Each structure stands twice: as structure tokens, then as C-alpha cells.
A and B are shown apart, each in its own frame.
Chain A
């Protein structure tokens, strides 16, 4: 069987998810042996045109140029994967969609020459094209990346279960942070990271986006009960996945 051809693309983001691929050191060379990396500008000087079997896209779409590239990438890739928070849900760049400033006001705060900026609201890639799989998190989870590549090689669906982070805390026997009055997005956020933040005494910030069937409005009211202001609650839900209908319910609950 021919090796699947793989491509990595980057839109508006920090390159941390692509770096996570290079951070697979113990299995990196084995993994590279099972696939044919045809396009990965951050790691290689020789890159080739599509089509590709799997395309991984990091970053949010924030410019018309990126949108045109995304549509071409969708046509070139049999399997299109959103890699990381920004590609899945718009990520941190999507904060600008809700910050109360017009695009022009934001541009004027940072730049003096505005004529070639052409920035548009930040969305995840499935706002524009069909996406076949999601690697959530900021940064994405490397284990899930390897799981996805292995599944693609076997021709099966990877089993990513989007139950809430609370399940992972229970399995780890963590003391609940919410019960201690520490704001935690765990109850509404999709598991898969191993509850990295709550296990270290820090409230979940929701970087993996909404868990299935989450009740964000209820968590928003709980946040108010433990002393968060309305603005604080909005900030919690309009951060990594503020574009999603689920987290929007939390942001608009009070």
C-alpha cells in the first residue's frame, strides 16, 4: 500500500501545533516512516503541490487570502483535519470578534498604515469548509495527533470522546476546583487533555472548546454565585471558543 501523503498548513496562529508535531521526538522518525510528508514549510525546504491524502490545518481564518487558500486546500485533501483551538473554533484570535471595537478601531490601535491589512472576523475552518476531524486544544494534544494518524493508516475513525473534563478529574481523584470557589471551565469543556490545568491547581480555561451536551448557561450562573461579575463570565466564554453556539449561551446567560 502506498504511504498516505500528508501536508501541514498554517493560518493565523502561533505555530505551536506544528511544533507539537516536531515535539513527537521519541516516535517522530517512526511516524515519518509511515507517511509521506509532501508539504511542511516550517520543517522542510522541498515542498510539493497536492493532492494530499491528509491535510492538517493550524490557525484561524482571518483574511480573504487565507479563505481562498483554505478552499483550495479542501479540494486538494481527501481528509481535512482542523489542528488546534484556532482551526477548530477560531481560538484566541476570535476574541477580537467580541471585543466591542470595530475592525478599523482595532487596526488603528496597532498599525499606522492600514491600506493592505484586509482582516476579517476570526473563525475556525469549518465555518467555511467541511472538516473531517478535529484535534482540539491549545496546543493540540500530541497523543490525539498520533491516534488520528494511526486511525487514518488503518482506515478507521479515531475515537475522540467529547465528554467533559470533569470525567478526567474524577478519574484522577482531583479535588473539584469549583467547589473551592475557583472558576473552572471543566464542566463544559471537552476532555482529552487529561485535565492538565485542574490537576495542577488551575481552573480550566476551556481551550478545547465545548463538550457534548454541555450546559454552559448553568455554569455561567454558578460562576456568578461564586462571585464573578457579568464581564468576568463573558471573558471566560469568549476566549478560545467564543464562536461556538454552546459557549455563546454561557456568554449570554447573565
Chain B
């Protein structure tokens, strides 16, 4: 009797390099379930020491090309807290609009280019585009992603790494006419976003996904007034409710025997999940009216502890992001240039934003000359690794009747549920599947 092993050395359609290694014993018991990141460490937290306060948000956005704004905005807020900088309402609105654009881009990329090929049996979105029936959908998805990228260009000058957002505000602001054009396109994109939610629910309703439920602690920001993206308290489905800057006291790392990487846990409890499903579960009431209505229509109710419902959560959030962006553009009216004004002061500050793939925490110390003395980065994917390994341990035994090829694909999908950003996750994360029997 030998072990059965699932091994994938490069996980496709994720951002960054990772691998899976699962070993299944002769009686179907999981002997090992690991997700490892190959991604070589870049030492951001080390080389940040000695850089200037205004370089910190510029540099940390380069941790991840897919969620740069989440890293950037968390760092901007942390620096502003450290130095006691207050920003205008317009700056907060622009930051929110910038980040919602990033969500639309990231979620559309994930739903159509990274996840849908799995559910529909294609190796990539490019292969999907080769199917005459699917080509129009692929084209619409690419058009929505284009629109999200255009939002980024209008607000800050580049699709990825931001050019104008700085400590204290923006070095230039978008014109009202450019924002109005975006708003018109966003209104037109709503129908496709409704369709995406229905498609996502349909894909996730195929066997065996509805049976793959596992209760665990879902952690997100929460804000009574509005859906959390740039601000809120840190809450969970198990009753955590603390100010965001207290995250270093509540999200801890521990060594798990047999593994040299650190595992994220909530203080006094166990693994946690962050990301769109955790956000929707903690903030369903704050979603836009249309997002809530379509959730009801497709039969989704919160809280859901089925990680395959993440694709539905992404679709709901895309619709919500479009609705909110339309409203934000009205609220912004005609943005006026405001010179970023502040004094350089010594201090310590921490902040969290919600990256498309979950909470993104930054913070550290700035000295009286504005030089960074310490910087802490807690990226979302590294929080999810331990929880994903628990998904493997719980779900793989339910799927042992599948062929090795099918089982391997399902394990990859369990990873893609988290839309991992492995560039951020170097602190932890590998799938080999091996069965004994």
C-alpha cells in the first residue's frame, strides 16, 4: 500500500510562484497538506528602514502588481497616523474611488481569467476565447477590466503603480469631465455585472462544490456606515471587534510542528480566512441595494462558509463597486487641486485596507526627520495559507473517488478560491498530492 500524492510545482493562474504537496494515506487520511510559496523573499521590511516617509507608500505598492493600491493606501494611512496628518474629504473620496477601481479590475480578472476556465473546463481564458459561444463573454469581461484600468489611469496616471497619490493627498486630481465619462461607462457595465453574479452562482452550484462547506473564522474590516474598503474596525464571524490599528495584537503567527513557515491565527483561537467571502459575510447589509437583490435572486445568503462561494462574493462586490463608484463620482463633483500640507513629525502608526483578496496591514515608526525606523507588512495571502491547508485536510477526503487529474484540479481550485497573491505571501506558503492505497 503506497501513498497517493498530489503535487503541482507551479500553480497556474495565480499571481506569483507557489506549489501544492498533499499526501494521502491508505485509509484516506491526510498525512500532509501544504501550500508553499517559491517566491524568493525581497526583504521590503528590512530595506524600508532608512527610507523617507513619503517613499514608503511609493515602495510598498510594488509588493504586488495586482493589489498595489491596497498596499499603497494602507501605508499612506499608517504614515499619516504616525505623523498626525489630516486629509480632506475629497482626498478620502478619491482614494475610495481609486481602490474600488482596483477591486473591479482584480475581481474581473479573477472571475473570468483565473477561475472561470476551471469551472468550464478550459486551460485558460485564451482557450475560452477560442470557443465561439464564449468569445462574446470574454470580450465583455475584457471590456470591464479595461474600464477598471481606465479608472486607475484617470485618477492617478497609470494602470498599476500609482503616480499621484501621496501622503497628504494627491499631486493632481482628475477632471470632472473624465470622471463623468467613466461614470457613463460604469452605468453601461452594470448589466454585465448582473450577468456575472448569475454566472458565478451557476458555476458554484455544480457538484461537488455545494457540499464543500467548512466553518472557520472569517475576518474583515467592518464599518456601520458603508462597505469597508479603506476604513473600518477589524471584526470576525466569531465576535472579534477591535480598532484596525490593534491588528498586531490580534492576528498572530505560530509555528506548527513539521513546518518551518509561520501560520496565522487569531489570538486565542485558530486559523482565519480573509477576502471577499469574509467581507460579504461580515458586511452583507452594507452592500449596494442591487448587489443585495441579485444575491437574493441567485440564492446566496450570508454567512456562507463554502469557500467555493468566493467567486459569488467577488461578483457581488464587483456590482457593489460599480454602484459605489457611480455614487462617488457624483459626490466628487468637480475635484479641485489641494496642495498636500503637513508637518514631518515622529510617530508610530498602523492601518488596514481591504485588498481585493483580503485585509492588508501596514504600519511602523517614523523619526523626527521623516526617516522610517521600522515597517511591518501583513499581506492578505499569508493570512490565508493555514486556513487553506485546513481546507485541504477537510475537503480532500471527500473527493477521493476522483481521478488523480481531477483531484489535482480541485486542489488547485481550492487555492484559487483565495485568489492568492503569492508575491505578498513569501512569509509562508506548496500542492503535491500523494495517496497511499
Contacts and interface: CB of A to CB of B under 8 A. Distances in A.
A146 interface: no
B41 A117 contact: yes
B414 interface: no
Given A45-B117, A201-B164, A202-B163, A22 B109 contact: yes
B117 A23 contact: no
A51 interface: no
Interface string A65-97: 110000000000000000000000001110110
Nearest to A99: B47
Contact of A46 (B124, B159, B164): B124
Contacts of A200: 156-157, 163-164, 171-172
Contact of A42 (B14, B129, B157, B164): B14
Interface string B36-69: 0001111101110111100100110011111010
B367 interface: no
A103 to B, nearest CB: 9
A41 B10 contact: yes
A19 B160 contact: yes
Interface string B1-44: 00000000011111111000000000000000000000111110
B309 interface: no
B12 A196 contact: no
B356 to A, nearest CB: 13
Interface string A13-52: 1111111101101101100100001000111111100000
Given A17-B65, A139-B65, A235 B159 contact: no
B118 to A, nearest CB: 8
A12 B424 CA distance: 11
A138 B62 contact: yes
B143 interface: yes
A42 B123 contact: no
B165 to A, nearest CB: 9
Interface residues of A, number: 66
Interface string A94-112: 0110011100011101111
Interface string A198-226: 01111001010000000000000000000
A11 B160 CA distance: 18
Contacts of A65: 40
Given A23-B149, A42-B13, A14 B65 contact: yes
A92 B56 CA distance: 12
A232 interface: yes
Contacts of A63: 40
Given A43-B13, A43-B113, A196 B163 contact: yes
A93 B124 CA distance: 31
A44 B10 contact: no
Contacts of A45: 12-13, 117, 123-124, 412
B146 A96 contact: no
A110 B374 CA distance: 11
B158 interface: yes
B145 A32 contact: no
A110 B41 contact: yes
Given A23-B159, A44-B124, A105-B46, 13 more contacts: A14-B62, A15-B16, A29-B142, A43-B13, A45-B412, A96-B47, A106-B43, A106-B46, A110-B46, A117-B41, A200-B157, A200-B171, A201-B164
Q: Which 5 A-B pairs have the closest CB atoms?
A: A16-B65, A106-B46, A201-B171, A44-B124, A45-B12
Interface of A: 10-20, 22-23, 25-26, 28-29, 32, 37, 41-47, 62-63, 65-66, 91-93, 95-96, 99-101, 105-107, 109-113, 115-117, 119, 122, 138-139, 142, 196-197, 199-202, 205, 207, 231-232, 235, 239
Interface of B: 10-17, 39-43, 45-47, 49-52, 55, 58-59, 62-66, 68, 109, 113, 117, 123-127, 129, 138-139, 142-143, 145-146, 149, 156-161, 163-164, 166, 171-172, 260-262, 371, 412, 423, 427
